[in-house]
Structure 1
Amino acid sequence: MAMNISFNSSPAEDPKENISGHNYNGGIGTQIGFSLIAILCIVGNLLVFILFLYSRKLRNFPHGVLIWNLALVDFLTGIFIIVTPEHIIREAYVHPPPGLAGQLFCMIIGSEIFTFGFGFISMYTLCVLSIERRYAVVKMNLHARYFTMKRTKWTVLGVWIWGLLLVFGNLFQSHYVASENPPCIWQPLPGGQAFNTAIYLVLFCFRFLFPMACVITCYTDIWRYMRSTIRNLQQHMDKKATAAYRVKNRITLTCAVTSLAFLLCWLPNVIYFTLANLGVAFIGNDGHFATKLLILLNSCINPFIYASTNQYYRAEFVKLLVNCKCIHPKTTSNTTAKSIHITVDDYQQNT
């Protein structure tokens, strides 16, 4: 996908010019865009991370652990947006000298292995989250058996390992060339164009097609099941059971919207990079930068999705602010406080 970054650079007459040259792609607008996204990623997801550390009611559920992991991954994405020279710092970035330091720099930083590796970790976290939500709603009798807290944490560890393995090949494709600026040049794997295209198609299936197909299938099944179930409960006037299903519906809605946002933000880059691998589009131009901005934008909008689609997260956030004395308790009316207490208790009992 978008990790296979190549650069439209021209040779420098003196290797020292690779520090002061002006061959980075993208203008001041993209630098501002990357900067704003990095700030929102770090601040927004740090707040979500702190909220889950504060609230046992939110983190002591399998889906809470998975959302907490998403926040951690998105926070680290913001850090690596700043660290990667192509995004914000560009010409002012002091590159390492030739040799081992330069090659390690290109392998770890220039290849953007962590930036996009975090994206695949997020993708598979959402995949696991969609399966967890399906069992919580459609297969309730099996949910407690398959999604224990211990098993969920081990699954998160496996997702991290798998997500980084999917970009492992990038370590061997970004090479340091002192006469170029930027000095990290992307080179295809040995074996020719046909081999590289075949590798890309295989990775495309594992990186995007399979996990997104799983997410869409799970939420389609959840939507079908909940629609028919709530209709039946309402017909039988079972208000307590209906309320419980509405709680699950809110939690599932948050997860579904998060997955949808991920799909919409990543799909343009997937299409663009597929065209680039087929020789129809070019890497490093404004269109490519726009799709990269959209990918990274996804990492900073998730906190807004959590707050706008889930009243339980909003309730716990208000409690956190009150306990930290960031807001005065009197600013929330008794009715609001009672509502917060009830909704969080409902959340704890029914998720």
Structure 2
Amino acid sequence: MINERDAILVLNAGSSSIKFELFEVAGAPVARFAGQVEGIGAAPHFVAKDAAGARLADRRWDDGGAPANHRAALGVIIDWLDGVLAGRRVAAIGHRVVHGGPDLAAPVLVDVAVMERLRELAPLAPLHQPHNLAGIAAAAERFPGVPQVACFDTAFHRAHAWEADTFALPPEFYARGIRRYGFHGLSYEYIARRLAEEDPALAAGRVVVAHLGNGASLCAMHGGRSVDSTMGFTALDGVPMGTRSGQIDPGVLLHLLGTEGLALQDVQKLLYGNAGLKGMSGISQDVRDLEASDDPRAAQALSHFCWRVRREVGALAAALGGIDALVFTAGIGENARGIRARVCEGLGFLGIAVDPERNAANAPVISPPGAATRVLVRQTDEEGMIARHVLDLLRRSNKA
């Protein structure tokens, strides 16, 4: 039975990092500490902060003994948490898992069968899924008997109409799971819940959310539910990203594999790791670096990125039959004022406009007063969403 003295640990394991956040159980989860070990396998760096953002730990391993894998990195995190738990018990651990496939449409307690199913889905999210599962395995070893809960980035999109999810292929492919899944669902779910708390009438309407970060996608929501998303079968689809190509003509892939003679693994490496803003600019995947550069390739990369995002806003507005609000979130969406302004240019036909002063101030509402379509900036919280799911699942389990 979970109680007020317990804590929930949330882990988000990536290819070279483990992010963590520790929540107290106080009715709803309350964030207490957060941080990460980044640079796993290269030059690890551990940082931990309190809820106010004050740095409590900052460690590099210049003298040797650095964590070489996810298991060791999690050990660093747990050793540090032992000093701040103050007698609290870690009652459960929530994990972000990118792909839940067609069947896993809600958070689940992890067992052997669930892990096997998630391993089968790893080829659909090769940059994320194996590392998500490594985080689960490491946590289970370090916290034997503690419930592990998997929360899926695909789950929020599972209520899509068939027309939105299918490809124009024979039906047997859809039956085998080859369909559009959508991703960043934990972020979109958090934004949907936040809007419902702030403005229920707006949340009940037609909202396009632009989750723009190193990974980027957009989602059309009506009544707080996902109607369509720019990402599809994998997290490679949609708008260009930091290192990912986004949508690309499948004929290009056939050409690369055939006429160009590239091996499958080379095409995968290109599309996932050497495309997007990094590949177009030849400089960086970081928007801040590109905005500061006088290299024309940097300007071209940003121009293409903004054009593609703008195009998808229009497409998703069409899917919704109109638009009441556009919401920017994630690292670029929350901070890159110039990108927000450029995305909104030319969207006046949808009633979208940006007030320069509000945008420069990173105001919660950056559209002009009285605008037909509201343009909002909201900070997302995927870890907080996971903690809520974990607590809800545990409480339901305890009642059963």
Shorter-normalised TM range: under 0.3
Structure having the larger proportion of residues in strand: 2
TM-score, normalising length: structure 2: 0.24
Query: Which gives a bigger RCO, structure 1 or 2 (Cα 8 Å, sep 6+)?
Result: 1
Looking at secondary structure, tell me which structure has more helix per residue.
1
